């Protein structure tokens, strides 16, 4: 007997990075044991920021390869593309009628995106959290595994569930956020969150050489300018990343050596790069195997869409009934 339903989604940004993995995908995989899980490639959300819409299909394929190789199991979980189940757009429209515009304009992620693309502050960008609430509530998900950067959106989805229930009667559960132990991974510049658009990421599917090269460009403790300066692992992003790829005895030894200036940043990064490569060896092998199966991803997504649609139709019927539309 499963404990309930899980939903999560990600924009089709292509190859996933270790921030996506540690912050979200790790939980997607783990939750499959105890929950009915639904994972969605949110292509409609991507349209709010995407410059080149033509990339969405290829990006979806690359992302699916990462998800499947990381352990998402289409036998146990529903995996699908958002636009293939158009009921979400109905719910999005209904929710938009009960959402105060002022509330959306105050959401920090909207302000941030509006700042980043001042020439394209489109209507969909303002409604982004409404569509995300529709994603989650359409499937009546109780648990939503995401990174910390999605916390405001989750809070908004909870509010939307409460508002709808208050206006039209109990319909939706209030979804709970589920964070991993690494809810926010910083990028290689050590300042912003790791993200593809900031080009500060390490892709899961990168080659060992590319991975090592990327790690070598990472910023470390800014106070350590010379090899002879003692380091401060507590403020060093490389040390933070070691936490997820290096076993604890080795990590303590590296920290100790760093504090005494017995190991340099280059060596410390080389160890990290090599441990990331070791940790991802099986993943990369499995990814190549899946990529070689022609038509497999399309099959997974078609099957996922039809299973998702069956649930979506039930919810939309209930929603319309509760709203008095039918
Ligand atoms: P997206 O596509 O930006 O990211 C996908 C998932 O990866 C997490 N993540 C991170 N976690 C830790 N450190 C990082 N540097 C990092 N970068 C990304 C994100 O938190 C996310 O969990 N709005 C969502 C997509 C979405 C969604 C949903 C999520 C649409 N509908 C419904 C959950 C439920 C987004 O843009 O994620």
The model's pLDDT over 144-201, given as tens digits with 9 standing for 90+, comes to 999 999 999 999 999 999 999 999 999 999 999 999 999 999 999 999 999 998 999 9
193 lines ligand 1 (CB under 6 A): yes
Question: What is the pLDDT, as a whole number, of residue 2?
Answer: 85
Question: What is the pLDDT, as a whole number, of residue 236?
Answer: 94
| Number of domains comprising the chain | 2
Based on the fold, state whether residues 126 and 264 are members of the same structural domain: no
Sheet of strand 176-178, all strands in order from the earlier edge strand to the far edge: 78-81, 36-41, 5-10, 143-145, 176-178
Rounded CA-CA distance 112/127 in Å is: 14
C-alpha 25 – ligand 1 centre gap (Å): 9
Atom 1, ligand 1: which residue's CA is nearest?
10
Residue 158's CATH number: 3.40.50.620
Catalytic status, residue 26: no
C-alpha 97 – ligand 1 centre gap (Å): 25
Residue 270's CATH number: 1.10.240.10
Residue 241: inside a domain: yes
Residue 86: inside a domain: yes
C-alpha 318 – ligand 1 centre gap (Å): 29
Based on the fold, state whether residues 103 and 139 are members of the same structural domain: yes
Based on the fold, state whether residues 275 and 308 are members of the same structural domain: no
149 lines ligand 1 (CB under 6 A): yes
125 lines ligand 1 (CB under 6 A): no
Based on the fold, state whether residues 317 and 247 are members of the same structural domain: no
Based on the fold, state whether residues 113 and 157 are members of the same structural domain: yes
Based on the fold, state whether residues 124 and 272 are members of the same structural domain: no
For residue range 69-127, list pLDDT tens digits in order. 999 999 999 999 999 999 999 999 999 999 999 999 999 999 999 999 999 999 999 99
Residue 194: inside a domain: no
Based on the fold, state whether residues 93 and 163 are members of the same structural domain: yes
Out of 149, 182, 241, mutate this one to test ligand 1's pocket (max ligand atoms within 8 Å of CB): namely: 149
Catalytic status, residue 269: no
* Helix/strand/coil for 41: strand
Contact yes or no for 92/130 (Cβ under 8 A): yes
Q: Nearest to residue 209, comparing CAs of 270, 262, 143?
A: 270
What is the domain extent for residue 167? Answer: 5-185+295-323
Based on the fold, state whether residues 29 and 150 are members of the same structural domain: yes
């Amino acid at each position: 007997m499963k404990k309930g339903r899980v939903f999560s989604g990600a924009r089709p940004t292509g190859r996933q990075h270790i921030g996506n993995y540690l912050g979200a995908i790790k939980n997607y995989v783990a939750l499959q044991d105890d929950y009915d899980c639904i994972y969605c490639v949110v292509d409609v959300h991507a349209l709010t920021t995407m410059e080149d819409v033509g990339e969405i299909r290829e990006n979806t394929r690359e992302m699916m390869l990462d998800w499947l190789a990381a352990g998402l199991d289409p036998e146990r979980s529903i995996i699908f593309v958002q636009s293939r189940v158009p009921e979400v757009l109905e719910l999005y429209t209904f929710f938009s009628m009960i959402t105060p515009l002022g509330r959306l304009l105050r959401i920090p992620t909207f302000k941030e995106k509006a700042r980043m693309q001042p020439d394209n502050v489109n209507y969909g960008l303002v409604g982004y959290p409404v569509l995300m609430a529709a994603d989650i509530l359409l499937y009546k998900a109780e648990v939503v595994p995401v990174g910390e950067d999605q916390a405001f959106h989750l809070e908004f989805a909870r509010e939307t569930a409460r508002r709808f229930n208050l206006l039209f009667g109990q319909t939706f559960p209030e979804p709970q956020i589920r964070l991993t132990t690494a809810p926010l991974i910083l990028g290689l510049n050590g300042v912003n969150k790791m993200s593809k658009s900031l080009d500060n990421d390490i892709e899961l599917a990168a080659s060992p050489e590319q991975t090592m090269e990327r790690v070598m460009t990472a910023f470390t403790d800014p106070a350590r300018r010379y090899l002879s300066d003692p380091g401060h692992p507590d403020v060093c992003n490389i040390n933070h990343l070691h936490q997820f790829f290096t076993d604890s005895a080795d990590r303590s030894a590296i920290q100790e050596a760093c504090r005494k200036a017995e190991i340099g940043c280059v060596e410390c990064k080389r160890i990290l790069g090599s441990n990331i490569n070791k940790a991802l060896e099986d993943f990369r092998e499995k990814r190549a195997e899946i990529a070689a199966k022609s038509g497999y991803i399309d099959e997974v997504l078609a099957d996922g869409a039809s299973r998702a649609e069956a649930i979506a139709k039930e919810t939309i019927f209930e929603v319309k009934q509760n709203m008095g539309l039918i």
